[in-house]
């Protein structure tokens, strides 16, 4: 008979002491809006990540196990996920049995040894994350499809690129350089236009032929909708949820608000952007045309929970002012992207324990 | 015409396996190992043929790492294949399969035959057979056909690592919750049997795994909860730790359909807990 280890630490006892809040059932992945987050964007694992990079896997796993009962602190995606849960609460008020809600899945290639710390942290922060995949080193990309993932957020750019290649909306998240307050009761999502909601057709023109040619091209084709970009589907999913509130006369108090924040100008190239959205039957609550001005200050006014852009330049600029920004590595802008100089080590090319 | 109403155990005279006292006997369904539809001699390889080779590979590695380690002892269970006895036995020799015993039986009595062999785990690709075995007190688990095959003409690859998927529900979900959720007595009984057989299997796997480093282990363990939520998963992870079992992968489905995920996980052995025969299962809240 095998020797059993001495009696376990009282995690389970602790877990059972938490009053069982009547948890709603997790929806069928086919019906809901699934957001997959990696452990490094949901929680701050910068200390652990450097241990892994400097001392290797064993040291990393030992550290995690030793600190199992110490909950991890929030990461860059945390406020976004909290706001998503607020929306779910409002959606359930509208329609308690509907499966058209958000579902958050923890998608990590971490080893199951780290599982207990992650579960303890989720419990500590009272997050409703019921589904997770810890693939123990395997790529999580196949699992994203299995969960009908609508949006994948990770700290690992290569996994994000892989997901985009498979047609899954994805973005690399960075920790902002300072912490600013974001609304608790309203989810705010800001999108860049070209190469995020739209494809990169116009960016290619601009890069190849310059600004004048770009304007000419956009004017000529003002009535022709742009092709869709990697995050169009996610905007669409948000729109479907918004309509549920509109249908009940709650447009003004809608807990989801979307923003288009584009370098296009309202006077000229902006027309095509708006017409494209309209042709898709989509709308954004606010369309902000910067005509090339920096996005940071404007985003600071909006205070979105997440801002998607295909250009690192804009991601960095926004991050500097405290906006949680996510890079969508899609389109022609990636060919000349400078390597990241952000404070976090997320944008490395070393093999990471986790995304 | 002779009638084979009793099980027919044939000790394999062609290969003498060093029987260790702590051998873990697994019985594998012949239909998985060979394609018994084609009347070839030797028989063609079945979808789980490479599994047997993998087991042998593990045995070889274990024998090197630790002379005291338990090894797998493989019994081949041939249901309703009495007329192919000699072909089956000679095929195993042809392919170099280390089978310590053969068990020829028929569909009505195969569970009895298994009971008489004191096998520790019966592996079949048929869910019905696994359930029946569990219900009649024979530890059993599902052998999963692999959807990733080596290409035609490739040198035969040994499946490595061998992935075992344990049921987190069987480990972490309290039975009361199941009866509250309306599972039948028969289902609960199967659950209990599955839990017991899985526990014993897990302890042996744990011991075998401890002979290897994390990096080069030919055994890989995954844990999956379908009905339970993260608290049950936490409980299962802690129990695995108590058993000294290293778990590599963990999946918490909270009621999501397991098919697509199993395709990603690709286990070789699935410790089925008897709770789901349908694809869509609501999670217990």
CATH of the domain at A207: 3.40.50
* Token output for A101: 């809600």
Residue B40 has pLDDT above 60, yes or no: yes
Q: Name the pLDDT band for A207 (thresholds 50, 70, 90).
A: confident
Select from B264, B267, B278, B281 the residue whose CB has the most chain A CBs within 10 Å, as the one to mutate to test that interface: B264
Q: Residue A104's pLDDT is what?
A: 96
Domain membership flag for residue A133: yes
* Residue A338 C-beta-side C-alpha neighbours within 13 Å: 7
Q: Which domain holds residue B22?
A: 15-143
Q: Residue A14's pLDDT is what?
A: 36
Chain A residues close to B232, C-beta within 8 Å: none
Average pLDDT, whole number, for chain B? 82
Residue A21 has pLDDT above 50, yes or no: no
In this structure, are residues B31 and B43 in contact, taking their beta carbons and an 8 Å threshold? no
Which residue matches tokens 């729109």? A239
Q: Is A71 an interface residue toward B (CB < 8 Å)? A: no
Minimum distance, in Å, between the CA of residue A267 and any CA atom of chain B: 48
CATH number of domain containing B85: 3.40.50.1000
Domain membership flag for residue B150: no
- Cβ <8 Å between B251 and A113: no
A150, A243: one domain: no
Q: Residue B113's pLDDT is what?
A: 86
A151, A251: one domain: no
Q: Is A113 an interface residue toward B (CB < 8 Å)? A: yes
- Cβ <8 Å between B235 and A15: yes
Chain A residues close to B231, C-beta within 8 Å: 12, 15-16, 119, 123
Helix axes B230-242, A115-124, angle to 10 degrees: 140
Q: Name the pLDDT band for A341 (thresholds 50, 70, 90).
A: very low
In this structure, are residues A84 and A35 in contact, taking their beta carbons and an 8 Å threshold? yes
Lowest mean per-residue pLDDT among A117-126, A140-149, B30-39, B209-218: B30-39
Select from B22, B234, B263 the residue whose CB has the most chain A CBs within 10 Å, as the one to mutate to test that interface: B234
In this structure, are residues A236 and A282 in contact, taking their beta carbons and an 8 Å threshold? yes
A69, A123: one domain: yes
- Cβ <8 Å between B234 and A119: yes
Domain membership flag for residue B283: no
A160, A86: one domain: yes
Burial of B2 (0-12, 13-18, 19+ CB in 10 A): exposed
pLDDT digits (tens, 9 = 90+) for A244-254: 999 999 999 99
More confident residue, B20 or B199: B199
Domain membership flag for residue B219: yes
- Give percent above pLDDT 90 in chain A: 72
Mean pLDDT value of segment A120-141: 94
Minimum distance, in Å, between the CA of residue B122 and any CA atom of chain A: 21
Minimum distance, in Å, between the CA of residue A141 and any CA atom of chain B: 9
A52, A159: one domain: yes
Minimum distance, in Å, between the CA of residue B226 and any CA atom of chain A: 10
What are the two backbone dihedrals, phi and then psi, of residue A290, each rounded to the nearest 5 degrees?
A: -95, -10
Q: Residue B128's pLDDT is what?
A: 86
B221 sits in the region (left: phi over 0; alpha: psi -120 to 50; else beta) called beta
pLDDT digits (tens, 9 = 90+) for B221-276: 999 998 888 899 999 999 999 999 999 999 999 888 888 898 889 899 999 887 76
- Cβ <8 Å between B214 and A146: no
Say which residues have a Cβ less than 8 Å from residue A5's Cβ, sequence separation at least 6. B241, B242, B243, B244
Residue B284 has pLDDT above 60, yes or no: no
Chain B residues close to A134, C-beta within 8 Å: 249-251
Helices assigned H by DSSP within A128-269: 141-146, 157-165, 201-220, 232-246
Minimum distance, in Å, between the CA of residue B138 and any CA atom of chain A: 20
B203, B136: one domain: no
More confident residue, B10 or B194: B194
Q: Is A17 an interface residue toward B (CB < 8 Å)? A: no
Mean pLDDT value of segment B181-201: 88
Report CA-CA distances (Å) from A76 to A14, A87, B20, B45.
Answer: 27, 19, 55, 52
Give the pairing type, strands A286-289 and A256-262: parallel
Residue of B nearest to A24 (CA): B285
Select from A133, A140, A168, A353 the residue whose CB has the most chain B CBs within 10 Å, as the one to mutate to test that interface: A133
- Nearest CB among B249, B252, B257 relative to A136 is that of B249
A195, A220: one domain: yes
Q: Residue A161's pLDDT is what?
A: 96
Q: Domain total for chain A?
A: 2
Q: Is B281 an interface residue toward A (CB < 8 Å)? A: no
B207, B106: one domain: no
Is the bond leading into B161 cis (omega within 30 degrees of zero)?
yes
Q: Is A301 an interface residue toward B (CB < 8 Å)? A: no
Q: Residue B157's pLDDT is what?
A: 53
Q: Residue B17's pLDDT is what?
A: 47
- DSSP character at residue A336: G
Domain membership flag for residue B136: yes
Chain B residues close to A142, C-beta within 8 Å: 263-264
- Cβ <8 Å between A15 and B231: yes
* Token output for A32: 């809901």
Domain membership flag for residue A342: no
Q: Name the pLDDT band for B148 (thresholds 50, 70, 90).
A: low
Lowest mean per-residue pLDDT among A63-67, A157-161, B88-92: B88-92
- Cβ <8 Å between B230 and A58: no
* Domain C-terminal end among A121, A142, A172: A172
Domain membership flag for residue B27: yes
A125, A71: one domain: yes
B36, B118: one domain: yes
Q: Is B251 an interface residue toward A (CB < 8 Å)? A: yes
Report CA-CA distances (Å) from A12 to A66, A166, B55, B232.
Answer: 16, 39, 35, 9
Residue A13 has pLDDT above 50, yes or no: no
Tell me, yes or no, if A192 is annotated catalytic: yes
Domain membership flag for residue A12: no
- Residues A145 and A166: their CA atoms lie apart, in Å, by 9
B104, B175: one domain: no
Q: Name the pLDDT band for A336 (thresholds 50, 70, 90).
A: low
Domain membership flag for residue A1: no
Q: Is A15 an interface residue toward B (CB < 8 Å)? A: yes
Q: Residue B20's pLDDT is what?
A: 60
- Among residues A156, A192, A194, A199, the one annotated as catalytic is A192
A192, A329: one domain: yes
Residue A43 has pLDDT above 90, yes or no: yes
Domain membership flag for residue A88: yes
Residue A242 has pLDDT above 90, yes or no: yes
Domain membership flag for residue B156: no
Residue A106 has pLDDT above 90, yes or no: yes
Residue B15 has pLDDT above 60, yes or no: no
Looking at the DSSP bridge assignments, the partners of residue A189 are A258, A306
Helices assigned H by DSSP within chain B: 30-33, 49-65, 85-95, 110-117, 127-135, 168-172, 175-180, 185-209, 230-242, 258-265
Residue A337 has pLDDT above 70, yes or no: no
* Token output for B225: 């909860």
Domain membership flag for residue A298: yes
The closest of A323, A346, A351, A350 to A39, measured between CA atoms, is A346
Lowest mean per-residue pLDDT among A3-12, A152-161, B165-174: A3-12
- Residues A51 and B113: their CA atoms lie apart, in Å, by 54
**What size, in residues, is chain A?**
355
B202, B108: one domain: no
Q: Residue A1's pLDDT is what?
A: 32
- Residues B246 and B222: their CA atoms lie apart, in Å, by 9
* Residue B96 neighbours by CB distance under 10 Å: 10
- Residues A20 and A16: their CA atoms lie apart, in Å, by 8
B120, B236: one domain: no
Q: Domain total for chain B?
A: 2
A207, A239: one domain: yes
A200, A118: one domain: no
Q: Which domain holds residue A40?
A: 33-172
- Cβ <8 Å between B248 and A112: yes
More confident residue, B77 or B158: B77
A251, A324: one domain: yes
Residue B160 has pLDDT above 80, yes or no: no
pLDDT digits (tens, 9 = 90+) for A269-306: 888 999 999 999 999 999 999 988 899 999 999 999 99
Say which residues have a Cβ less than 8 Å from residue B65's Cβ, sequence separation at least 6. B211, B212
Average pLDDT, whole number, for chain A? 87
Domain membership flag for residue B1: no
B69, B176: one domain: no
Say which residues have a Cβ less than 8 Å from residue A195's Cβ, sequence separation at least 6. A203, A229, A310, A311, A328, A330, A331, A332, A333
Domain membership flag for residue B264: yes
The string of DSSP letters for A93-123 reads HH-TT---SEEEEEEE---GGGHHHHHHHHH
A163, A194: one domain: no
* Domain C-terminal end among A122, A140, A172: A172
Q: Is A349 an interface residue toward B (CB < 8 Å)? A: no
- Cβ <8 Å between A23 and B229: yes
Domain membership flag for residue A116: yes
B138, B39: one domain: yes
- Give percent above pLDDT 70 in chain B: 84
pLDDT digits (tens, 9 = 90+) for B103-126: 889 888 888 888 887 789 999 988
Q: Residue A188's pLDDT is what?
A: 97
- Residues B256 and B227: their CA atoms lie apart, in Å, by 9
């Amino acid at each position: 008979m095998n020797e059993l280890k001495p009696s376990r630490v009282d995690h389970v006892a602790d877990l059972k002491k938490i009053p069982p809040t009547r948890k709603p059932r997790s929806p069928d992945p086919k019906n809901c809006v699934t957001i997959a987050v990696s452990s490094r964007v949901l929680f701050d694992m910068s200390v652990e990540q450097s241990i892994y990079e400097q001392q290797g896997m064993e040291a990393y796993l030992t550290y995690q196990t030793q600190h199992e009962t110490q909950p991890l602190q929030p990461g860059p995606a945390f406020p976004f996920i909290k706001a998503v849960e607020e929306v779910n609460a409002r959606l359930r008020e509208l329609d308690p049995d509907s499966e058209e809600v958000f579902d958050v899945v923890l998608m990590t290639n971490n080893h199951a040894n780290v599982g207990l710390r992650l579960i303890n942290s989720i419990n500590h922060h009272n997050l409703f994350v019921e589904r997770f995949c810890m693939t123990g080193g395997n790529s999580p990309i196949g699992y994203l499809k299995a969960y009908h993932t609508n949006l994948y957020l990770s700290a690992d750019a290569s996994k994000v690129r892989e997901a985009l290649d498979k047609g899954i909306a994805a973005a690399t998240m960075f920790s902002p350089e300072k912490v600013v307050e974001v609304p608790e009761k309203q989810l705010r999502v800001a999108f860049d236009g070209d190469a995020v909601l739209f494809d990169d057709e116009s960016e290619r023109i601009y890069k190849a032929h310059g600004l004048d040619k770009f304007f000419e091209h956009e004017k000529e084709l003002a009535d022709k909708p742009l092709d869709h970009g990697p995050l169009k589907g996610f905007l669409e999913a948000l729109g479907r949820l918004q309509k549920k509130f509109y249908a009940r006369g709650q447009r003004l108090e809608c807990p989801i608000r979307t923003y288009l924040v584009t370098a296009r100008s309202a006077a000229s190239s902006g027309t095509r952007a708006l017409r494209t959205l309209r042709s898709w039957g989509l709308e954004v609550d606010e369309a902000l045309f910067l005509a090339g001005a920096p996005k940071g200050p404007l985003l600071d006014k909006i205070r979105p929970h997440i801002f998607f852009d295909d250009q690192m330049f804009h991601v960095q600029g926004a991050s500097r002012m405290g906006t949680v920004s996510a890079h969508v590595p899609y389109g022609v802008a990636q060919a000349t992207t400078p390597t990241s100089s952000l404070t976090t080590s997320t944008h490395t090319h070393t093999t990471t324990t986790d995304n | 015409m002779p009638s084979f109403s009793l099980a027919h155990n044939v000790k394999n005279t062609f290969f003498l396996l060093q029987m260790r006292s702590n051998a873990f006997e697994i019985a594998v369904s012949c239909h998985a190992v060979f394609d018994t539809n084609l009347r070839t001699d030797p028989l063609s390889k079945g979808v789980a043929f490479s599994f047997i080779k993998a087991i042998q590979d593990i045995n070889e590695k274990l024998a090197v790492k630790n002379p005291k380690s338990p090894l797998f002892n493989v019994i081949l269970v041939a249901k309703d294949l009495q007329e192919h006895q000699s072909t089956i036995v000679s095929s195993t020799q042809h392919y170099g399969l280390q089978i310590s015993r053969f068990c020829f039986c028929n569909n009505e009595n195969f569970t009895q035959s298994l009971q008489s062999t004191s096998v520790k785990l019966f592996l079949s690709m048929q869910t019905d057979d696994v359930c029946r075995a569990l219900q009649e007190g024979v530890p059993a688990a599902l052998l999963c056909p692999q959807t990733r095959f080596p290409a035609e003409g490739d040198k035969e690859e040994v499946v490595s690592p061998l992935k075992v998927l344990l049921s987190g529900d069987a480990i972490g979900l309290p039975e009361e919750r199941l009866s509250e959720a309306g599972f039948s007595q028969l289902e609960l009984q199967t659950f209990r049997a599955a839990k017991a057989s899985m526990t014993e299997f897990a302890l042996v796997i744990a011991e075998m795994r401890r002979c290897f480093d994390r990096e080069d282990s030919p055994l890989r363990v995954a844990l999956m909860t379908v009905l339970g939520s993260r608290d049950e998963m936490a409980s299962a992870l802690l129990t695995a730790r108590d058993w000294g079992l290293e778990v590599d992968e963990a999946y918490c489905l909270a009621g999501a359909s397991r098919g697509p995920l199993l395709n990603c996980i690709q286990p070789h052995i699935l410790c089925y807990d008897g709770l789901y025969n349908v694809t869509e299962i609501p999670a217990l809240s």
